[in-house]
Amino acid sequence: MKNIKLDSVLLLALVTPFVMSYGLGPGDTPFWLFGIIFLGLLLYIAVDLSNIKTSLYLKFKNSLLWGLIIVVIGSAFTSALITRHKTHPVDAIIHDMPLQQEIAIRFLLDGKNPYGVNYFGTYLEQWHYSEKEVNPALYHFVLPPFYILSAIPFYFASNFIFGFFDARMPLLTLFLLMVVSASILVKDSDKKRLFIILLVFNPAMLPYALEGRSDIYMFAFLFIGLFLLHKRQYLWAGVPMALAFAVKQSAWPILPFYIAFLYFKAQHLEGVLRPPSRWIMMKRIVRMIVPFVLTFCIIVLPFFLWDTKAFLDSTIFYLSGNIPNSYPVSGYGLGMLLHQVGIIKDIYQYYPFQIWQGVIGVPLAVFLTVYLKNHPTVGRLILVYGIFLFVFWYLSRYFNNSHLGYLSLVFIVAYFFPDNKTDV
């Protein structure tokens, strides 16, 4: 007798709370759409119980899964975009970061430096941040410039086709690109479906994606880079890796492990032919890292040189509490613990979290690098990055709910990423 598969149970368990919590149409979700989704979920289970041949089974399962992804995710994002366009540019669902991205694009197209201006007088000021406090994002644009530049083609295309632009349009495109890449990466059919379901319907991450938060926006580029690393395209991998670095700072902690990974690869390539030469290995690493460095510099340097102080204040010092109107201590990490016990009196004051990060983070980074050296695969690279980022964020000024969601995404990818012995 056939049994129900884990992916069928997981799909039902993850899709149901999402469609019950978020509108899938402008206004209330139409009941005919609920019926289509429920039918798809039921058929997905029913296929497990059928006695059809394997090739047909896989076609049905894959078709139903992608159909549900298109219907559920497509409806949710389309509903959010249309509802916002018809009601108000600042609605209850969208986060302040995509709002600021939209405004930064307009500033840039008008010849204004998005890092050198404030955002008062824009619709970002209307976004509900707090009943008492002023949103510190009104003073600074925190993310690196490719977050702005990459959305400009979507800005022009969307305004031409639809007459409006929403920053979640490029995010949704990158989200789907990442999922398609994941489906190509994993070969085993059962694991592939589990991977896709957890990527798409991860309850710790999907609501934040619908809000337009930038984590998936960045991770899509990072994922493509990791995919190319797995395919041993070490030169080309540096380009999307650099783009991820030029989108959001949460990619930056992977840098020492990325360089160590390339070193271990260069060591292996050299050792296959002759006893390792440190000089030749260094030349190999430099050659591998050049596309990464060039791509990052081409994107970031113009903005850095345009107004160095404004750029550093916005992208570095704003997050570390070194300037007025810095990002406050917040979330669930060490910062709020120290605030609760009275060591940090004011959440807006400066506190040297880098001491904690150095004392704990440096030994941890050494340990994780040794762990990576023992078996230098891309899967382990993602895993050590996730562990280090978890500790680094907990010991930082802020450790918010979306950060935990992003970490869940990283560890899901680390679990399913192929870890072949040939990738050594």
Distance in angstroms (rounded) separating the CA atoms of residues 142 and 371: 33
Query: 246, 294 in Cβ contact below 8 A?
Result: no
Helix (H) or strand (E) holding 398: strand 398-399
Distance in angstroms (rounded) separating the CA atoms of residues 367 and 282: 22
**Paired residues of 292 in beta bridges:** none
Q: For residue 253, give Cα distances in angstroms to 30, 259, 289.
A: 44, 11, 16
Residues 6+ apart with CB under 8 A from 160: none
Task: Write out the chain's pLDDT in tens, 424 residues.
Answer: 478 999 999 999 999 999 999 989 877 889 999 999 999 999 999 999 988 898 999 999 999 999 999 999 999 999 999 888 887 778 768 999 999 999 999 999 999 999 999 999 999 998 888 877 889 999 999 999 999 999 999 999 999 999 999 999 999 999 999 999 999 999 999 999 999 999 999 999 999 999 999 999 999 999 999 999 999 999 999 999 999 999 999 999 999 999 999 988 887 665 454 555 677 777 778 888 999 999 999 999 999 999 999 999 999 999 998 898 899 999 999 999 999 999 999 999 999 999 999 999 999 999 999 999 989 999 999 999 999 999 999 999 999 999 999 999 999 999 999 975 544 3
Angle 290-292-296 from CA coordinates, rounded to 5°: 120
Query: 193, 61 in Cβ contact below 8 A?
Result: yes
